[in-house]
Amino acid sequence: MKKHINPFLLAALALFSAFSAGAQNSGIDSTGLPGDNFSLQGALQMFQKATSIEEFETFLNKEDNSVNNLDLNEDGDIDYVRVISKMDKDVHAFIIQVAVSASENQDIAVIELEKTGNEIAVLQIIGDEDIYGEELIVEPDEVEDGSSYIDWSNNNILSGPNSATDEYSGTNRIVINVWLWPSVRFVFGVNYVPWISPWRWNYYPGWWKPWKPYRWHVWHPRRVVYHRSFVVVTTHRVGRAHKIYTPYRTTSVTVRTRHSASLGNYRVTRTKTSVTGPKGKTTTVKKTTVTGPKGGKATKVKVRKH
């Protein structure tokens, strides 16, 4: 017996398929900046998993880990990401960097780690503003193996019922203690020597084979799997580590110039507000906030009467 399919149903399915395909290619969550192609959350996941900083660098450069999709020099191949460590007693900064050419390097992000008490440590990863358009700060958001909650206001470890009470839920005071992460224990060990990657432009480990960058609609689903356990915040919690890193920050003129248009578009936020007066006349107020290269902000206001 033949089955008859409703033509309206077929049309609806075709429309849905076209919409889905368009959504995949529409650049959902894409900023158009280089940072779209490096997962800060994924980097923290690799840092949590690694048992040493050398192993952390290896994890960042494994294709199946889906952390790195960068091609800053636009040669059609993925860039090798290296890690450079800086430390001062109980404070560490791990610089994640790409060699753009024989003469230029570009920082992608820095992991800042600080011991704040007996068996208590906090960390954040900060994406470079030339890669992400601004300093993008990400930190752990879920307690997993090797971590616990701490109250940021008094540096106390939360355990038992206190760690899940409504009093703390959703507040800015609660952060994750990463002391038991293997990589954290490793760098706070008595025999730790800061890791400085030996690899540089055109000189890479034998096991590493570059691959072609993934298109956004393929790459995006692979990177978002890391978002569950980490959160974007606006507070610098690891101030001492940030001071250690700042003098070593490295940027590339080539990268900044190549992406100047995308950076400019990202840093300009336009808002339009329509106001209807008592006589029925409508006025559109357009505000444009521009962030300059040194972080200064200026707001332009345009008023258009209809």
pLDDT at 299 over 90: no
Alpha helices in the chain (DSSP H): 7-24, 40-49, 53-60, 129-132, 182-187, 216-223, 239-245, 253-258, 260-267
3-state secondary structure of 13: helix
Residue 173 has a pLDDT of 63
pLDDT at 198 over 50: yes
C-alpha separations of 210 from 43, 51, 100, 236 in Å: 18, 24, 14, 34
Q: How confident is the model at residue 68 (pLDDT cuts 50, 70, 90)?
A: very high
Query: What is the sign of the dihedral through the CA atoms of 260, 262, 267 and 268?
Result: positive
Listed residue (272, 269, 259) closest to 291, CA to CA: 269
The chain-wide mean pLDDT, for the chain, equals: 80
Residue 150 has a pLDDT of 76
CB 249 within 8 A of CB 104: no
**What are the structure tokens assigned to 27, written together?**
């650049």
Could you read off the pLDDT of 137-184 as tens digits, one per residue?
A: 999 987 765 567 777 666 677 765 445 444 444 555 688 999 999 999
Edge to edge, what strands does the sheet with 105-117 contain?
81-88, 91-99, 105-117, 120-127, 136-140, 230-233
Mean pLDDT computed over 188-196:
95
- Name, in order, each residue with C-beta under 8 angstroms of 133's C-beta and a sequence gap of 6 or more: 31, 33, 35, 262, 263, 266, 267
CB 139 within 8 A of CB 123: yes
Residue with tokens 């889906």: 66
Q: What's the pTM? A: 0.76
Q: How confident is the model at residue 12 (pLDDT cuts 50, 70, 90)?
A: very low
Residue 218 has a pLDDT of 92
CB 175 within 8 A of CB 137: no
Give the whole-angstrom CA distance, residue 109 versus residue 60. 12
Domain boundaries, the chain: 29-258, 268-305
Among the listed ranges 32-46, 62-76, 136-150, 202-216, which one has the minimum average pLDDT value?
Answer: 136-150
pLDDT at 287 over 80: no
- Beta-bridged to residue 105, according to DSSP, are 99
- Range list of β-strands (E), 42-127: 81-88, 91-99, 105-117, 120-127
- Beta-bridged to residue 304, according to DSSP, are 284
Give the whole-angstrom CA distance, residue 293 versus residue 263. 10
